[in-house]
Amino acid sequence: MLKFKRQFIAAKFIEPSGRMVEKSIEIRTHPITGRTCRIAFSRIHEKEAATDSLPPPPPDAGQSSTCPFCQPQVTSKTPRLHPDLVPDGRMVQGDSLLFPNLFPYGSYSAVNLFNDEHFVEIGRASVSSYADGFINCGRYLKSVLNCDPLAVFMAITQNHLPSAGGSLVHPHLQINADRVPGNHHRFLMNKAAEFKQQHGEHLFSSYLNHEKAEGSRYIGTTGSWEWLAAFAPEGFYEIWGVLPEITSIQSVTAGDWRDLAQGVINIQRFYRSICRNGYNLGLLSVETPDGSLELRVVLVVRSNYAPWVRSDYTGYEVMLGDMATFVAPEQTAEWSRSFFGS
């Protein structure tokens, strides 16, 4: 039902040494989006700056006194939620704290802090801090839906370190809900509905079943979540977590959020093992009663946050729209499996 298309091409030329060579490139078509990406295998041997070891902490890693997310100034420097949404102004779950984004991207735009730790290296956070953070986000999104039932397009995202878009190093999640969908909401919502109508199955479950049977990109499970390397990645070391058959954040239990947190920390540990300190995370949902888009979290490595590092978005990605990565997804799966105890 889904096509996992692979094409192989080659570039022939004479190397500086005088040797005639043929270098292979693989083009994969994304089974869901139909977008192509390239795996330029020869570039894996290229030495990226600042990936020999994990980069040192960023310059502002010790500057908690000027950080608006640190105690005690967090209560005076950050805004409070509208009383229609949450009477207490901020939401607390364990050590996590949720409040509105002072610089909103949408109608319901919030920030969740895991705790008062100003800088946490990738892979070093506790699972419970992420679990509490996700539970807090889920509760906030439920309140949004109670208050505005049409704000159905929801997202939880993370920019870990400024190279991934984070404006403050203090670890946090962004939460967004709106009546207006993002491009990916719009595309995935329609695709999942069309797929369900045509095949009587959920889109991501069908994708997952193919990948579990095929095996080479399947990584493992954390409780209810299933993890796999993306077949046609749109970012470096792209990994998905799928919560099969669950189409609403409102159906996610505290146990599911804990299982998600465990998977995210496992992937952070994998990224740390390959000396990468920046990544993005995203979980989208469409909260319509008849929605058929299952929950899926995506994680991708971004350029390291360190001096003199080049961007991972080149003219190729920006102008041609084809992600060019250097590592086969099967390799990503193989390297990450040990972090899932499998």
Closest to Zn ion by CB, 70 vs 141, is 70
Distance CA 339, CA 342 (A): 8
In terms of CB distance, is 151 or 161 closer to Zn ion?
Answer: 161
Assign residue 148 a region (left: φ > 0; alpha: ψ between -120 and 50; beta: otherwise).
beta
Q: How far is the CB of 167 from Zn ion (least distance, A)?
A: 12
Instruction: Rule CB under 5 A: choose which of 28, 118, 185, 276 binds Zn ion.
Output: 118
User: Which residue's Cβ has the minimum distance to Zn ion?
Assistant: 67
Exactly one of 39, 50, 70, 113 binds Zn ion (CB under 5 A); which one? 70
Distance CA 221, CA 260 (A): 10
Tally of helices (H runs) and strands (E runs) in the chain:
7, 14
CB of 160 to Zn ion, least distance (A): 14
- Kindly state whether residue 276 participates in binding Zn ion, applying the rule CB under 5 A: no
Tell me whether residue 70 or residue 154 sits nearer to Zn ion (CB atom).
70
146-157: burial string, b at 16+ Cβ within 10 Å, e else: eebeebbbbbbb
The residue to which tokens 């239990």 are assigned: 253
Question: Of 25 and 168, which CB lies nearer to Zn ion in the complex structure?
Answer: 168
The dihedral through the CA atoms of 232, 238, 239, 245 has a sign that is negative
- Using DSSP, state whether 334 is helix, strand or coil: helix
Site for Zn ion in 135-154 (CB under 5 A): none
State yes or no: residue 170 binds Zn ion (CB under 5 A).
yes
Between 67 and 219, name the residue whose CB sits nearer to Zn ion.
67
Residue 225: which of 189, 185, 257 has the closest Cα? 257
Question: Interface with Zn ion by CB under 5 A: which range of 17-25, 58-66, 77-85, 90-98?
Answer: 58-66
Contact residue for Zn ion among 32, 50, 54, 67 (CB under 5 A): 67
- Cβ pair 23, 10 in contact under 8 A: yes
Give dist(CA 175, CA 243) in Å, integer: 19
Binding segment toward Zn ion, per CB under 5 A, in 112-120, 198-206, 231-239, 284-292:
112-120
Residue 26 DSSP label: E
Task: Please pick, from the candidates 69, 207, 227, 240, the single residue that binds Zn ion as defined by CB under 5 A.
Answer: 69
Instruction: Tell me which stretch binds Zn ion (CB under 5 A): 57-65, 101-109, 139-147, 299-307.
Output: 57-65
Q: Degrees (nearest 5) of the Cα angle 299, 178, 235?
A: 20
Please tell me the distance from the alpha carbon of residue 175 to that of residue 159, in angstroms, as a whole number: 12
Q: Which stretch binds Zn ion (CB under 5 A): 53-61, 69-77, 286-294, 297-305?
A: 69-77
**Alpha-carbon torsion, ordered 41, 43, 47, 49, to 10 deg:** -110
Q: Where are the alpha helices (DSSP H) in 38-182?
A: 74-77, 127-147
Size of site (CB under 5 A) for Zn ion: 6
- 170 versus 196: smaller Cβ distance to Zn ion: 170
67 vs 267, beta carbon nearer Zn ion: 67
Select 77 or 212, whichever has its Cβ closest to Zn ion.
77
Span of 63-71, 133-141, 146-154, 334-342 interacting with Zn ion by CB under 5 A = 63-71
| Least distance to Zn ion, CB of residue 113, Å | 8
Tell me phi and psi for residue 30, to 5 degrees: -65, 125
CA distance 47 to 119: 28
Return the range that interacts with Zn ion (CB under 5 A); candidates 18-26, 59-67, 295-303, 324-332: 59-67
Contact footprint for Zn ion (CB under 5 A) = 64, 67, 69-70, 118, 170
